Amino acid sequence: MEKETQSVSSWVATANMVGDAWIRGAVPNKYAEQTLKKAQEELRKEKEKIDEIKLSKDVSEHDKSVLLTEVLQLANNTEEMSRAVAQKNHSVVRQKLGELAAEKRSLNKLRKVAGQTNE
């Protein structure tokens, strides 16, 4: 599960960087929208991979369930950011960036519980 959670963290970082750059006017709308859409798709793929993983003795069913919920929420927020970029809605993107940051902290806590390293 470590590989999948590292991938999730990477895609969240990508969404965060692109959203922040878009708000500052440093990247074009289309680039930001497409990159956020790709991040959302990849987060959903990682959720499916995590869902299929057999649990080890270090990870409880509850921890896995919480992780799946977090990853789904990250994917949903990234999708909402992509739509907000398409609508040129800076305030929604700012709000979603804040939510991504909070969810990333939760993800990192879950990684610690599972005995994985924190980025």
Instruction: Tell which phi-psi region holds residue 25, choosing left (phi > 0), alpha (psi between -120 and 50) or beta.
Output: left
Q: Give the whole-number percent of the chain exceeding pLDDT 90.
A: 65
* Cα–Cα distance, 54 to 42 (Å, whole number): 21
Tell me, yes or no, if the pTM score tops 0.85. yes
pLDDT value at position 39? 97
* Cα–Cα distance, 12 to 78 (Å, whole number): 8
Q: pLDDT tens digits, residue range 17-67?
A: 999 999 999 999 999 999 999 999 999 999 999 999 887 776 778 888 888
Instruction: Tell which phi-psi region holds residue 95, choosing left (phi > 0), alpha (psi between -120 and 50) or beta.
Output: alpha
